[in-house]
Amino acid sequence: MTKENKDETHFGYKKVNSKEKPDLVKEVFDSVSNKYDLMNDLMSLGVHRLWKKATIQMSNLKLGNSVLDVAGGTGDLAILFSDLVGKSGSVFLSDINEKMLKVGRDRLIDAGCNNVSNLVADAETLPFEDEKFHCISIAFGIRNVTNKDQALREFYRCLKPGGRLLVLEFSNPEYNWLSELYDLYSFNLLPKLGQWVAGDSKSYEYLAESIRMHPKQDEFLKMMNEAGFKNSEYQNMTGGIVALHFGEKVT
């Protein structure tokens, strides 16, 4: 790979300079932050809540444990984690986007989650000491990270021995007919829905493209293994439209 290629990455279907992508992603989520939760419900017919609950059930968390939800934005997982670890535990909600995080902070206050800390942080350079967390999660965020390998190494560094990583992300449908139907929905109906509800079709065009550029299930599993994770597996949900990858830090 040439140096020029190393300096490039994908922003949807476009190739951009790697240094530019974080700002481009920030613009997308600045635009959709106020309608993000509503759009999630509409886009998935509410099924995203079931995907997230299934993710939480794989965390192996106990009362008093510590957990980090990366790119957690509006706080869906953080609220569920807060109940799992209890008052003696700690939850950290991080996101690179301040507007998304503000929505999350307001929701956490309304939900009475007093054991959650919020911070602006980049998945590639987490501001935590080694071996701090029993679990790290990232839901529908890893595809927006510029250097996914670096982020996985950071997750590994910050996990305690025996800790678990959970990655919930849109993925590759298992069946051709489902893939064709999903493409029809993503590139025709989704942008129109985004325009109608959020007043922004372009951001949802990017979101559809970013899903297609994300590594497929087996490829992402290999990336996790290369970052050091053991006992790594994935579970397809809704015919592979979404996949939950999980792995452990074993030392």
| Confidence band for 27, pLDDT divided at 50, 70 and 90 | confident
The pTM score is: 0.92
Sign of dihedral through CA atoms 124, 18, 148, 23?
A: positive
**pLDDT number for residue 6:** 62
Helix, strand or coil, per DSSP, at residue 119: strand
Assign 3-state DSSP to the chain and report helix, strand, coil percentages, each to 5. Answer: 50, 25, 25
Encode pLDDT of 114-138 as tens digits.
999 999 999 999 999 999 999 999 9
Residue 235 gets which letter from DSSP? Answer: E
Spell 192-228 as b/e; 16+ CB within 10 A means b: ebbeeebebeebbbbbbbbbbebbebeebbebbeebb
Dihedral, CA of residue 80, residue 86, residue 90 and residue 94, to nearest 10: 10
**What type of residue is 56?**
I
64 and 116 Cβ atoms separated by less than 8 Å: no
Per-residue pLDDT at 62 exceeds 70: yes
> Which H or E run contains 136?
strand 133-139
Per-residue pLDDT at 4 exceeds 70: no
Cα separation, 217 vs 211, whole angstroms:
12
Top-confidence residue, 7 or 115: 115
Top-confidence residue, 248 or 1: 248
What are the domain boundaries of the chain?
19-172+217-248
State the average pLDDT over residues 149-155: 98
Q: What is the chain's mean pLDDT, rounded?
A: 91
Top-confidence residue, 248 or 42: 248
Residue 130 token pair = 């080694």
Encode pLDDT of 154-205 as tens digits.
999 999 999 999 999 999 999 999 999 999 999 998 888 888 877 888 888 9
194 and 39 Cβ atoms separated by less than 8 Å: yes
Neighbours of 106 (CB within 10 A): 12
Helix, strand or coil, per DSSP, at residue 19: coil
Domain covering 19-172+217-248 assigned CATH 3.20.20.70 in the classification: no
| Confidence band for 248, pLDDT divided at 50, 70 and 90 | very high
Q: Which residues pair with 68 in a beta bridge?
A: 92, 136
82 and 113 Cβ atoms separated by less than 8 Å: yes
